[in-house]
Amino acid sequence: MIDINLIRENRDVVKENIKKKFQDQKLPLVDEVYNYDIEYRECKSKGDNLRSEKNKLSASIGELMRNKNIDEANKVKETVSSMQSEIESLEKREEELESKIKEIMMQIPNIIADDVPIGEDDSKNVEEKVFGKAKVPNYEIPYHADIMASFNGIDKDAAARVSGNGFYYLMGDIARLHSAVLAYARDFMIDKGFTYCIPPYMIHSDAVDGVMSFTEKENMMYKIEGEDLYLIGTSEHSMIAKFKDQILKENELPITMTSYSPCFRKEVGAHGIEERGVYRIHQFEKQEMVVICKPEESEDWYDKMWNYSVELFRTLNIPVRKLVCCSGDLADLKYRSCDIEAWSPRQKKYFEVCSCSNLTDAQARRLQIRYKKEDGTKEFAHTLNNTVVAPPRMLIALLENNYNEDGSVTIPEVLRPYMGGKEIIK
């Protein structure tokens, strides 16, 4: 959520930003909230003046009564009563306007960075840099689900009978490799100075509204029937919401956390659920990194975070590239974002495995996360998040890039301690 002062002072900037995101249907919201804000401030000002005047008149009643000016005192009482009715009416209108303003402000997208590429969808994202040499072996690499099945490591048919499409059973060495990747990612981030966390897997609706847009909420989140609870789509949701309504100390920042959680997603939209494989599914597990910092530090942390992803994937013998997200591909709360994509030697192309985002103060404003500066003033913090690893999607890259001609898979050296010393899966 942006600062309403920006709408008060420069609506054109806000409208231009909406156009850059190809959300022209939201343009009328800017003038609408601008007018509501004017009326809100007029109501508040009139109410404040009436309360001040009412208090002065109320204070005079006692003196009039003591001086036996009964008729005059009664007239003042009538005036005070009439003013109180008007004040209550103004307060009711203030509440209505405040609610309308908040509802609209939460639909207006965050201001994006000046250097974000302009484009209507992810086809206009821009490759910035490649890390590692993308190779295609001279032998065929099977589909990732077939590689898993060759080790008796996956059963989607049973999962479909039990849970429906978009679920899976992982078994044996594949399940163990899945857990090894998560454990390695956890320790990798701890070594970078991040605090390991396991958050709640369900959060209240006000926490959901604080961390994502209404569209994302509708398309992603599963609601618990009869409860004010949602299953998290990523641990970022509960990790950022941990600081809801808090005033942090300046010397506590930055707060750097790496969190594990299962993730649950409806995956409503154009992509849909993958029938055979495990690339896009309803349930998966993920190691996340989250940073809460001062505004002047957030761009430095953004660069650190996506670089951590690159470093981790390169230790697993996986070539990756950094893809800068264009304006139309940015979720409403994001200032900038990039995807780290892993090389698929089977498909001979890259695919997304990490998403790193700087949301500036958009989430902090919604959740009222502030910090107290040395001079006593309070400022909204900046929030950032990035995927460390998200198996089983990450397993696709790992299996394909370490697949051997004889059908075996070489286990990257850094994972072997988590696999009981095993070097290869046959």
Domains of the chain: 4-105 (1.10.287.40), 122-425 (3.30.930.10)
Q: Quick one: DSSP state of residue 407?
A: S
* Contact in structure between 369 and 207 (CB atoms under 8 Å): no
Q: What pLDDT does 274 receive?
A: 61
Q: What pLDDT does 62 receive?
A: 66
Q: Of the candidates 292, 290, 277, 285, which has an alpha carbon nearest to the alpha carbon of residue 232?
A: 285
**Residue with the larger pLDDT of the pair 324 and 217:** 324
Residues 6+ apart with CB under 8 A from 390: 263, 284, 285, 286, 287, 353, 354
pTM over 0.85: yes
Reported confidence tier of residue 4, pLDDT bands at 50, 70, 90: very high
Q: What pLDDT does 276 receive?
A: 74
Q: What pLDDT does 85 receive?
A: 85
Q: Dig out the tokens for 416 from the structure.
A: 């072997």
Reported confidence tier of residue 168, pLDDT bands at 50, 70, 90: very high
Give the E-state strand segments of 43-139 in sequence order: 126-131
How far, in Å, CA of 122 to CA of 323, rounded? 10
Q: What pLDDT does 275 receive?
A: 65
Residue with tokens 């709640």: 200
How far, in Å, CA of 313 to CA of 3, rounded? 38
Average pLDDT over residues 282-306: 97
* Contact in structure between 296 and 98 (CB atoms under 8 Å): no
Give the E-state strand segments of 266-380 in sequence order: 283-293, 320-324, 336-344, 349-358, 370-372, 378-380
**Residue with the larger pLDDT of the pair 281 and 365:** 365
Average pLDDT over residues 5-13: 95
How far, in Å, CA of 169 to CA of 279, rounded? 14
Of 64-68, 305-309, 350-354, least confident by mean pLDDT is 64-68
Please determine, for residue 175, whether its predicted confidence score (pLDDT) is greater than 80: yes
**Residue with the larger pLDDT of the pair 251 and 52:** 251
Q: What pLDDT does 269 receive?
A: 58
How far, in Å, CA of 285 to CA of 348, rounded? 26
Q: What is the mean pLDDT of the chain?
A: 93
